[in-house]
Amino acid sequence: MKTRKLTLTTIALTLAFTLSTLAEIPAATATEWNVSLWGKRRAFTEHVEKLAELVSEKTNGKFTLNISYGGLSKNRENLDGISIGAFEMAQFCAGYHRDKNPSITVLELPFLGVSSLEQERRVSQELYQHPAVQSDLARWNATLLMPSPLPQYNIAGVGTAPETLGDFQGLNVRATGGIGKALETLGAVPTSMSATEVRQALDSGIVRAVAFAPHAHLSFGTVESAEWWTTNLNPGTVNCPVVVNTDALNALPADEREALLGSVDEALDHYIRHYNEQTMGAWQPTLSEKGISTITYSDSELTSFREAAAAPIARSWIEENSERGLPAQELYDLVTGLIAQ
């Protein structure tokens, strides 16, 4: 009897010790990153959405990207949030704060001659690898992850349509970066504001026209008010990279880092396919449905526009950013050389 009691006691003590030991062993923790975007899910964010899907699949749910549309930061403050580690990933547009990321604003110069999303992607990714660009973003503890390739911007507006380029004189237009500078050469009055503010500004008369890529005209409602659209002004586009907090990237386990970086190309393939097929496929039918008239400028007018805007603005950009200590001429030559290929 005594032997049986001793055995039961021993078993109980052993079990208690085992459970206590197991409780002290840390469970495998999942990695969760917060991602700061804005607006709503749209063509512009499809690569981030796809990236989140791929990363989760490749890590069996151990690494997740929690995407927030405006809940973490204002779009103009996303780079600041990355710098302090408020979130691990974010998207922003270079033209929103040129002084914070001058190196990549070379991609926003007017009339660079980019002809497709595929080309925009290739040129952006090459530029992002330049040491001066990486150092520029490193000031914000940011690592460039992938671009958000966009087509050439055109303008939708209300009121009297600018049937000739001379009609842009005095036109208040929402336009950022190099596009805004190009429109200034036509006498337009560019105003920089974030995409989420544009519909209200157009409806209230703060601006009479908006320079956007087609997806943004659809997503932010300018097509609901617009009366006209320029088909071939094509002054340029904006560059809106996705970046990650460098410390967070370096802290990832090797398999999760590979899942993230190894999914970028597939995410961009999905983005471009979606934009070309769905967004551009819906654009012309939307213009017809809304009764928006189209304006097409003559080759001679566009040639004069390019001559007045492209070279002078590029020279100014090179001079300004050389004074900042950037190899501005080298960056410009890299971009234009890649496009020429």
Question: Which pLDDT band holds residue 11 (cuts at 50, 70, 90)?
Answer: very low
Question: Which of these, 59, 67, 74, lies nearest to 29 by C-alpha position?
Answer: 59
| Helical H segments across 195-263, by residue range | 198-204, 214-219, 222-225, 246-251, 254-261
pLDDT in tens, 144-157: 999 999 999 999 99
- Cβ atoms of 102 and 124 within 8 Å: the answer is no
pLDDT at 13: 42
pLDDT at 29: 81
| Tokens at 150, concatenated | 């966009």
Flag whether 187 is in a domain: no
Q: Residue 34: helix, strand or coil by DSSP?
A: strand
Instruction: Work out how many domains the chain is built from and give that number.
Output: 1
Residue 8, pLDDT above cutoff 60: no
Flag whether 13 is in a domain: no
- Cβ atoms of 67 and 48 within 8 Å: the answer is yes
Flag whether 139 is in a domain: yes
Flag whether 45 is in a domain: yes
Q: Label the pairing between strands 89-91 and 189-191.
A: unpaired
pTM of the model: 0.86
Residue 300, pLDDT above cutoff 70: yes
Q: Label the pairing between strands 209-212 and 154-157.
A: antiparallel
Residue 94, pLDDT above cutoff 80: yes
Question: Which pLDDT band holds residue 28 (cuts at 50, 70, 90)?
Answer: low
Flag whether 246 is in a domain: yes
The more confidently predicted of residues 246 and 14 is 246
CA 205/CA 208 separation, integer angstroms? 6
- Cβ atoms of 123 and 338 within 8 Å: the answer is yes
> Within 10 A of 68 (CB to CB), how many other CB atoms are there?
14
Residue 117: CATH number of its domain: 3.40.190.170
pLDDT in tens, 65-90: 999 999 999 999 999 999 999 999 99
Segment (H or E) for 68: strand 63-69
| Helical H segments across 172-213, by residue range | 177-184, 198-204
Name the amino acid, one letter, at 232. Answer: N
Write out the residue range of the structural domain in which residue 253 sits: 32-148+238-280
Residue 211, pLDDT above cutoff 80: yes
Flag whether 59 is in a domain: yes
Flag whether 262 is in a domain: yes
pLDDT at 145: 98
Q: Distance from CA of residue 151 to its chain's centroid?
A: 13
Using left for φ > 0, alpha for ψ between -120 and 50, and beta otherwise, residue 70 falls in left
| Tokens at 207, concatenated | 């601006």
- Cβ atoms of 55 and 65 within 8 Å: the answer is yes
pLDDT at 12: 44
Flag whether 142 is in a domain: yes
Q: Which residues of 100-118 are buried (b: 16+ CB within 10 A; e: fewer)?
A: bbbbbbbbbbbbbebeebe
- The structure tokens 């190309």 sit at 265
